[in-house]
């Protein structure tokens, strides 16, 4: 379950949901919306992972789901970039490649989601101008052979591209 108004968390979880054959349900911040509630019931879903912090899907929604009998957990971080790396660390064991796309706008990550899902690669959201320490640490901690960067120099600066190149050598 992801926010219906913020793209970053949804894009990061696409390859995971595709591999698991699980839907990605959109919800409001402060209450379980009727469409999502009906989909959960109609599709017989019992386990729910909320993607994102309480600012995108509140603790009240999590409690409501638990009270309705669902098993609920959350994957999140302080920022969209931290949440994205939490997704990668939790669901991708020893990946050899990743897809990198801007975390500030969605088109490049959106068009790369199918590729990432087919190849079971995490989508790593990148700040266009500078990598976060969390992202640097994640890339360094993996044995990546390659990173496919989506978008031009306005989406991912040449400096960020060069930093990534150095990190995966």
CB-CB contact of 115 with 148 (8 Å): yes
Residue 42 in any domain: the answer is yes
Domain-terminating residue out of 75, 104, 127: 75
Q: What is the pLDDT of residues 56-107, one digit of tens each?
A: 999 999 999 999 999 999 999 999 999 999 999 999 999 999 999 999 988 8
For residue 39, tell me if it sits in a domain.
yes
How does pLDDT run across 139-160, given as a tens digit for each residue? 999 999 999 999 999 999 999 9
The pTM for the full model equals: 0.92
Q: 58 and 116 share a domain?
A: no
* 37 part of a folded domain: yes
Residues 8 and 56 reside in one and the same domain: yes
Q: In 3D, which of 117, 113, 2 has the Cα closest to residue 52?
A: 2
pLDDT at position 10: 92
CA neighbours within 13 Å on the CB side: how many for 126? 34
Number of domains the chain is built from: 2
Q: pLDDT tens, 12-56?
A: 999 999 999 999 999 999 999 999 999 999 999 999 999 999 999
Contact call for residues 154 and 129 (beta carbons, < 8 A) = no
Look at residue 85 and tell me if it is in a domain.
no
Whole domain around residue 157: which residue ranges?
94-167
Same domain, 56 and 113: no
């Amino acid at each position: 379950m992801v926010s219906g108004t913020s793209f970053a968390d949804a894009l990061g979880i696409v390859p995971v949901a595709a591999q698991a054959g699980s839907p990605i349900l959109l919800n409001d911040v402060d209450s379980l919306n009727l469409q999502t509630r009906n989909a959960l019931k109609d599709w017989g879903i019992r386990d729910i992972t909320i993607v994102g912090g309480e600012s995108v899907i509140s603790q009240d929604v999590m409690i409501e789901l638990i009270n309705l009998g669902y098993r609920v957990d959350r994957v999140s971080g302080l920022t969209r970039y931290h949440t994205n790396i939490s997704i990668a660390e939790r669901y991708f064991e020893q990946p050899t490649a990743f897809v990198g796309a801007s975390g500030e706008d969605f088109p490049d990550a959106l068009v790369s989601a199918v590729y990432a899902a087919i190849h079971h690669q995490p989508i790593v959201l990148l700040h266009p101008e500078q990598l976060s320490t969390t992202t640097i640490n994640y890339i360094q901690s993996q044995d990546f052979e390659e990173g496919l960067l989506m978008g031009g120099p306005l989406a991912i600066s040449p400096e960020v591209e060069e930093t990534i190149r150095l990190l995966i050598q």
